Structure 1
Amino acid sequence: MSVAGIATPMSDNDGPAQTTPVPHGYSPSPQGAVLAAINGQVQMATANDELWTEVSQYLLAPGPGRDQWAQARSLVTVDGEVTDPAKFVGFKITDFSDSSALVVLATELPDGQLVAYPVQLERLSDTWRLVLPTQDTAVDFTEIDSLTGFTEFSADQGE
């Protein structure tokens, strides 16, 4: 599936179970957590002015990070396709339970640089939701030299 020009994965088994108003409904499995992490990041970055409130409601866990994101998002306009998007190329699950998960996503930036960053998830309302850090606790990308230790990912898989 492509969202605003960014390839995003989906799975018949792990989600999303629903695609409207935004993709949501991921299985309680580690695979569901990975799909929710990637799709949540893409939706947060690309949701247009009509859908960003739905992203907040369906994909983000309540808390101060979500509140700060919504406040900042309300001040900008987003619409259209992303013309040279970063690509998700790998992942690793560093923590997993029935109620929470920590997924580290590896991304290839348009210039070829590889970076990784953590995505915290919480299981709420029968789906995974992203737990956003506050602006003062946000983690920056970490440059990585290779995908060693990551499960390599192709956006074509699972479609």
Structure 2
Amino acid sequence: MGRVPAGVAWGLLAAWVVHDAEELATMARWTQQARSRLEERLPGVRLEVSQAHVNVAIGLMGGVMAAASALGARTGGRSAVFQAALAGFGMHGVVHLAQAAVYRGYTPGVVTAPVVVIPYSVWAWRRLRRAGVPMRGPGAAVVAFPLVLAGVHALAHALTGGHRHGRRPSRHR
């Protein structure tokens, strides 16, 4: 009682891999194509990431998700880190749907959000609940998710030198 099989926790990493494969394949190209539309809607915001940045950021986040999944597997789902990552992953799926709705079109990750991210998250929470695993509220994830995401992107930016195609991005339009 109070534990779920390790496969439930490792499912977080598996669902993340499927989801982030979509982001890996589409994010850099999408930001280049959507740049003018985004800058028009969000003055002062410059959004364009290189494929190198995407690769590094996804690799770093993969480390975070692997660690959270390992903790979840080791503790039968009781780990606060695992539960925060699970809550953050579910929120991430909802954010993808909201982004696509606001953008009124495809955004990277929106295909797998409703068919992988959200269903896995709901299923995993139900498994935890049925097994009687003590559940922590989403508070930690609400705080940690944007901080971890910002940290991952800041570190990816630093590691890739903020370069696009090997050159510094142009500051003029």
Q: Give the TM-score, by structure 1 length.
A: 0.31
Q: More strand per residue: 1 or 2?
A: 1
Which of 1 and 2 has higher RCO (CA within 8 Å, sep 6+)? 2
Report the structure number with the largest CA radius of gyration.
Answer: 2
Q: More helix per residue: 1 or 2?
A: 2
Q: Give the TM-score, by structure 2 length.
A: 0.29
